[in-house]
Structure 1
């Protein structure tokens, strides 16, 4: 297992940003999903969420689509260095030269596509809210369902991106974003159906994990997926005792006897 590289407080705001703290006690877990999150709470950092600027968080999450944090972080930093300045970020990006923006975020991959999405989103924010600050107020103050619907109506913004904005900018409890790690792990464990899509996994988790633990569950599950429950070589494949969740996992799609690992949906 690698050393946890994450800071004690999340880069998305920490305790001052409206996030909720939670206690993690596996003996008190009401569901298997909560039990998993409680065990992760004993193993990993316990962060609070919220506090990021809503528009910047949206841009950051778009940059992270289909790439790693290692690749998207430099792109985000370069974008902020070039377009952040003293003015409004949404206005600056809406007015930017597309080719220059694409070059700026090239380290994130798919930079032509992402630069187009970012500019379209920026233009819509400016047109409908007037500024990044006003959009941030909308994200923080309006009903989560309304914010989510607005975000999903933006071209290039999917459920995971929308949920990350609600969590990391809005500090909303009860939001469990589903990325590839979360989607794989909870189907592999048998907590969500093998054929469940990302939205169906989200509905299961948000229904079975207490609201104040959902944000933590998202980030900690990603860390668990990187360290133990990887896509091709989960820790249990060679040694069941190597995985801290072995006793609560159905190992759907994992066959230690043959060394085969398939997507849970292929077991149906």
Structure 2
């Protein structure tokens, strides 16, 4: 994810993002990861997710790769305006499978890597049409089949990585126990000391999905992104300004952060030091 300016509220999890506000009891699971997510739920929002159209969610997440919500959201809106007309009952899978790549690339140009992303979106749309027929059947597959089978299928698509697959499972499938790992989540939970400092993205996901109660993984993901933007940035985390500056200070090992000197490195760089 780039360091572009971000919105005040996380588009994926903020008030206008879809999903239902909910109230969760404090965790009986006393892991530090569970305590972190509970505190983030007090700081931001507690929501349950699911119900987004699966194919549109997949496309939207591809557009968000290697860029910010500020850039990807207008690209998504432009794509839907051109190819996703509900009034004409257009199937988005058909529309994008038949799209001219140059036109699609121009439509989504604001999201960055538009030539690469347009080619991937068309290829995936063709595959979904061939294997599922259209939006509705793909939706049913994502919502009803076992989560691991859906994840495996999504990961086999060109341009779909673990975070993209997990976002589809969460935001479209409404699957409990899915904690997508983006750049912010990856940084935060290694810096906290909850995941090993040299863990890869998949290892961080496994730790979080094991230690965070299943019903809280969704808002844990989105609230962690917001926390990364507001407090736990890559270069200048709030803890450099002292304990009172960060609401998670007492739960954090600050791996790779040296408040006395102001030095901040990736947690992996601390291994063996």
The 1-side partners of 2:239 and 2:29 are apart by: 23
CA distance change for structure 1 residues 74 and 239 in 2, over 3 Å: closer, same or farther? same
Alpha-carbon deviation of 1:9? 4.7
Q: Match of 2:260?
A: 257
Is contact 1:189–1:250 with CA below 8 Å preserved after alignment? yes
Is contact 1:236–1:242 with CA below 8 Å preserved after alignment? yes
The 1-side partners of 2:29 and 2:63 are apart by: 36
Cα RMSD (Å) = 1.6
In the alignment, structure 1 residue 23 sits paired with structure 2 residue 56 = no
Matches within 5 A, 1:27-106: 28-85=28-85, 86-106=89-109
Q: Match of 1:14?
A: 19
Is contact 2:76–2:108 with CA below 8 Å preserved after alignment? yes
Give the TM-score normalised by the residue count of structure 1. Answer: 0.93
Alpha-carbon deviation of 1:132? 1.1
The 2-side partners of 1:128 and 1:3 are apart by: 40
Is contact 1:21–1:212 with CA below 8 Å preserved after alignment? no
Secondary structure in 2 aligned to 1:229? coil
The 2-side partners of 1:9 and 1:137 are apart by: 26
The 1-side partners of 2:99 and 2:16 are apart by: 30
The 2-side partners of 1:3 and 1:119 are apart by: 32
Of the candidates 146, 162, 165, which is equivalent to residue 165 of structure 2? Answer: 162
Alpha-carbon deviation of 1:5? 6.5
Is contact 1:163–1:177 with CA below 8 Å preserved after alignment? yes
Alpha-carbon deviation of 1:155? 0.4
The 2-side partners of 1:21 and 1:149 are apart by: 30
The 2-side partners of 1:24 and 1:258 are apart by: 39
Instruction: For structure 2, list consecutive stretches of 5 or more residues without a partner in the other structure.
Output: 1-6
Post-superposition CA distance 1:75-97 (Å, at most 9, x none): 00000010112211011101111
Is contact 1:63–1:114 with CA below 8 Å preserved after alignment? yes
The 2-side partners of 1:179 and 1:156 are apart by: 15
Q: Match of 1:193?
A: 196
Is contact 2:10–2:226 with CA below 8 Å preserved after alignment? no
The 2-side partners of 1:179 and 1:50 are apart by: 19
Post-superposition CA distance 1:121-171 (Å, at most 9, x none): 100000000101110110001000000000000000000000000000000
Post-superposition CA distance 1:212-252 (Å, at most 9, x none): 00001000000010011010000001222210111110000
The 2-side partners of 1:111 and 1:124 are apart by: 20
Matches within 5 A, 1:101-250: 101-250=104-253
Alpha-carbon deviation of 1:210? 0.6
Q: How many residues align?
A: 261
